[in-house]
Structure formats: structure tokens, C-alpha cells
Structure 1
Amino acid sequence: MDEVAKSQKNVKYLGKVDDITLNQEYAIVSLFILTSSFETFGYVLLEAQSHGLPIVTFDLPEIRDNIIQGKLVKPFDTEEFAKAILNFYSQYNLDREKYYLMREEIRRKVYDIFNKQKIFEIAKLLNIN
């Protein structure tokens, strides 16, 4: 990965990073793109959305319900995937203030849905200790 990244001007490969660096990276990007064709829960999507990032990813049943704001694309439809990325890019360029308001709304919704209290309530209902 490191060699491929070095050969590209628009790729930055960080490898394993600490939480501070991860938070800094999330703060400077405008969109989270996941090209995975298999996910179990999609924790990384919730993490990205907790930083207010909209998502572009393939439509996988395991993650479908965890997308607050974004575009789910039919798996392997790379043309539609690229269009979704360009659509968010256009939104960002047309009205950055609106884009940042959308990001704040994503952040708020993620915390409303997945906060500790809600998780504990669900665990209690399911009788999970």
C-alpha cells in the first residue's frame, strides 16, 4: 500500500494511526468513501459519521440501516459510485455553509441514535449483560 500511495499524487497512506491523528484526518475531509464489498456492522461508517461525514458506499444489507446521510450504490456499479462522489463534491462546492450544516446534522443524529444510554437500553431489552 505504501508503495502504491507514494506513486500517486492524490493518495495519502497513513498506515496505523493514533486517535489524535485519526480525528485530525476526519476533520480535514468532506466525504467518507467505503468500497468494501463485505461488512459485518460497518463500525467505521458510524465512526466517520460521528465526525459529520456523509457516506458513499456499496449497498450491503449489514450496513444499510447505519447510514445517516449518504448514498448507497448497487455493489460493483462503479459508474454510479463515481456519480455519487461527484454529487457530494458538487454540493460541497455549490454551498459550503449548507454542506457543513448537513455535516452537523449527521453528527447530531449519530449521537442521538448510538449514544451509550440508547445502547444500554437496547441491551437491557435484549437481556444482554
Structure 2
Amino acid sequence: MDNVRIDKWLWAARFFKTRSLATDAIDNGKVKIGGDRVKPARTLKLGERLHIDNGSDEWDVLVLGLSDKRQGAPIARTLYEETEESIARRQKEAERRKLFQEPAADFKGRPTKRDRRLRESIDTGE
């Protein structure tokens, strides 16, 4: 395989669950090659360095293989190599998330009256 669209490759390498999510990320400037924004139809070449932000994590990767078919995660990991700085940054961010829980992370949907009363009683110290 000589050339693959970048949106297909991001989907095949399992950075995004769907091709449309990959396309949206590219259009919004969340995927860059060498610091430059690209279009979803741009062909990817071996050895190119990508910066990928999928909303929850950011990766800096080097393209090692090309594929336009989504396969298992072990095969998808052979398509790229993550840089040492990127690994360290993601581990640091994961540790930060573990230590500081988002206050709203426990809420599921809209709070009920009971939830609101409980929260107000905690806030006022009753």
C-alpha cells in the first residue's frame, strides 16, 4: 500500500472510533503534520510526524505503516511509534486526572430534587 488518506489511517490506527470523527478532528485543526493543518484527503507517507488531539489525549507519533482497514489493537499499534515526550506527557496528564477528580464526574445527567438538596446541605454544612 503506497498511499492512504489521513482520515482512513487515523481510523485504522484506532485514534478515533469512526472516520467521520477523524475527519471532523482534521477539519478542526486537531491533527497536524509537522505543525501544519491538513485536509482529510491528504495522503500520508511513511516517516511523517503527526500531532493528534482526540479530545481526551494528545499524541505525537511517527508513521511506521500504512493501512486503510481497521483491525485489532495489537496490529494498529504497529502502524505508529509514539515519541518519548508524548508518552511522558500523557502519563503526567493521567496522573493529574487521577489525583484531581472533576467535581461533576459523579453526576449522571440532570440532577434530581433529591440530588440538589443533598448538594445544598453539603455546601451549607447542615
Larger strand share, 1 or 2:
2
> Greater CA radius of gyration, 1 or 2?
2
Could you tell me the TM-score, scaled by structure 2's length?
0.30
